[in-house]
């Protein structure tokens, strides 16, 4: 038998870059992805043809859609809890002698009570990202396996399941469910069951929404295949998926905190206009959506595309692009009961655009930071202007339930 492993490294931040992750994984699974192997084959065509002829390898064996595929490196970040440290990891040169507290001290005042609290939030964000990405890969049976970047954090990289001192991160006990033979997955109105065992498995799948049963079905999932069907229901809540074997034992499980913002009719100001600034100066609070890159308020506010090289990486010769380091979402206490940090930003996934705000003034109400509290930026920023407040957003808040709640909470004039 002649075979090869077609593997690749993928990094995409969730949820802001989840569409690119899904597109890349689907392309990879279908064999349409330009890999290192194919690049070398084209650049050294004569050598490859000689080797293939010598080994009598039929050309059909090099059909990328049929080769076994492995995502050999993927992952994201979750900051370690400094209260658990016993070593001297932060003497590593990349940290420049700083401690975890030094990196996040700005956040303790407004967003977190302790460094540990911030670390726990970022670890749940890491779990949400890993969960989404593993599910995406298991929906495609063409992908034979995947490899997490690191079991433990190392050097300055915080993308392990364990921290620098080998302490398990908060999500470690739940990761096992994503790697069992049977994994139930809910995605875009569909339920999938992935079977990565060497035998066909007869089982029963039960789905509950906030404790109420919405699906109970017996089925057989073929070996190294994916079973799927529609699963329609109204509203959001806690979706619990459970798979039982023929003896009634739980052999697979998954869960989703589904947040679905309702459509609510209201408008948002577009662009910073002179009449809007006059109203704010006289004491009003107005929400303005910024859709275009550029400088505003005499350069005090800048809007960038998060697709720029400063926020990721790209390659001109292969399908290789994404985010080097994961992004973490944080919310001002005035909005914390509307948004949960434990969801890792997924409740914003349908509202996120590719624009972020960098501001010299004001405070970030909804924002994200990269890696070790670097590249802090906002999606919703409050700036005092005269007697009033100017709320600048790149989130798609218009006609959404969240946008309406923010307006009511912050007493914004339309």
318 and 254 co-located in one domain: no
Instruction: Return the structure tokens found at 264.
Output: 């609510």
Whether residue 264 is contained in a domain is answered as: no
Query: Which of 252, 53, 79 minimizes the C-alpha distance to 153?
Result: 79
Domain end point (choices 258, 283, 317): 258
Say whether 327 sits in a helix, a strand or coil: strand
Instruction: Find the CATH number of the domain harbouring 227.
Output: 2.60.40.10
Distance between CA atoms of residues 3 and 285, nearest Å? 64
Q: pTM for this structure?
A: 0.84
Mean pLDDT calculated for residue range 216-239: 93
Domain that holds residue 327: 269-410
Give the model confidence (pLDDT) of 28-83 as tens digits: 888 776 665 565 555 556 666 666 676 666 655 556 666 678 888 888 888 888 88
Mean pLDDT calculated for residue range 1-21: 68
Whether residue 377 is contained in a domain is answered as: yes
Number of domains the chain contains: 3
Q: What are φ and ψ of residue 380, in 5° steps?
A: -145, 115
329 and 378 co-located in one domain: yes
Q: Is the pLDDT of residue 3 over 50?
A: no
**Percentage, residues of the chain above pLDDT 70:** 76
10 and 44 co-located in one domain: yes
236 and 163 co-located in one domain: no
Distance between CA atoms of residues 355 and 61, nearest Å? 44
163 and 21 co-located in one domain: yes
158 and 305 co-located in one domain: no
Distance between CA atoms of residues 182 and 410, nearest Å? 46
Domain end point (choices 152, 170, 188): 170
17 and 90 co-located in one domain: yes
Whether residue 234 is contained in a domain is answered as: yes
Provide the CB-side half-sphere exposure for 22 (13 A, CA).
Answer: 11
Query: Which of 131, 219, 122, 226 minimizes the C-alpha distance to 178?
Result: 131
Distance between CA atoms of residues 378 and 396, nearest Å? 13
Whether residue 175 is contained in a domain is answered as: no
Domain end point (choices 120, 135, 170): 170
């Amino acid at each position: 038998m002649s075979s090869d492993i077609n593997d690749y490294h993928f990094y995409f931040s969730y949820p802001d870059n989840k569409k690119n992750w899904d597109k890349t994984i689907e392309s990879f699974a279908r064999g349409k992805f330009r890999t290192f192997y194919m690049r070398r084959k084209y650049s050294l065509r004569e050598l490859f043809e000689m080797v293939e002829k010598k080994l009598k390898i039929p050309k059909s064996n090099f059909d990328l859609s049929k080769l076994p595929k492995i995502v050999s490196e993927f992952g994201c970040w979750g900051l370690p809890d400094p209260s658990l440290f016993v070593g001297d990891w932060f003497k590593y040169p990349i940290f420049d002698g700083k401690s975890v507290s030094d990196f996040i001290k700005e956040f303790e005042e407004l967003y977190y009570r302790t460094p540990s609290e911030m670390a726990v939030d970022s670890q749940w964000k890491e779990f949400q990202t890993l969960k989404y990405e593993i599910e995406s890969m298991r929906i495609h049976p063409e992908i034979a396996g995947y490899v997490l970047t690191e079991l433990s954090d190392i050097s300055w990289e915080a993308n392990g399941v364990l921290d620098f001192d080998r302490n398990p991160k908060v999500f470690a006990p739940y990761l096992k469910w994503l790697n069992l033979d049977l994994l139930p997955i809910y995605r875009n109105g569909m339920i999938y069951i992935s079977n990565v065992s060497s035998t066909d498995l007869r089982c029963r799948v039960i789905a509950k929404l906030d404790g109420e049963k919405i699906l109970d079905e017996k089925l057989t999932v073929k070996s190294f295949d994916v079973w799927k069907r529609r699963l329609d229901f109204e509203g959001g809540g806690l979706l619990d998926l459970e798979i039982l074997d023929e003896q009634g034992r739980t052999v697979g499980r998954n869960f989703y905190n589904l947040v679905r913002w309702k459509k609510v009719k209201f408008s948002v100001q577009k662009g910073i206009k002179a009449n809007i600034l006059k109203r704010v100066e006289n004491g009003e609070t107005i929400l303005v959506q910024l859709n275009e890159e550029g400088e505003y308020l005499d350069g005090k506010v800048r809007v960038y595309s998060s697709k720029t090289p400063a926020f990721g990486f790209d390659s001109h010769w292969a399908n290789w692009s994404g985010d080097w380091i994961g992004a973490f979402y944080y919310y001002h206490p005035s909005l914390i009961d509307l948004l949960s940090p434990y969801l890792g930003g997924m409740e914003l996934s349908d509202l996120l655009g590719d624009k972020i705000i960098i501001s010299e003034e004001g405070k970030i109400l909804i924002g994200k930071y990269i890696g070790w509290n670097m590249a802090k930026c906002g999606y919703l920023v409050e700036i005092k202007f005269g007697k009033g407040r100017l709320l600048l957003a790149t989130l798609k808040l218009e006609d959404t339930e969240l946008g309406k709640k923010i307006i009511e909470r912050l007493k914004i004039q339309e």
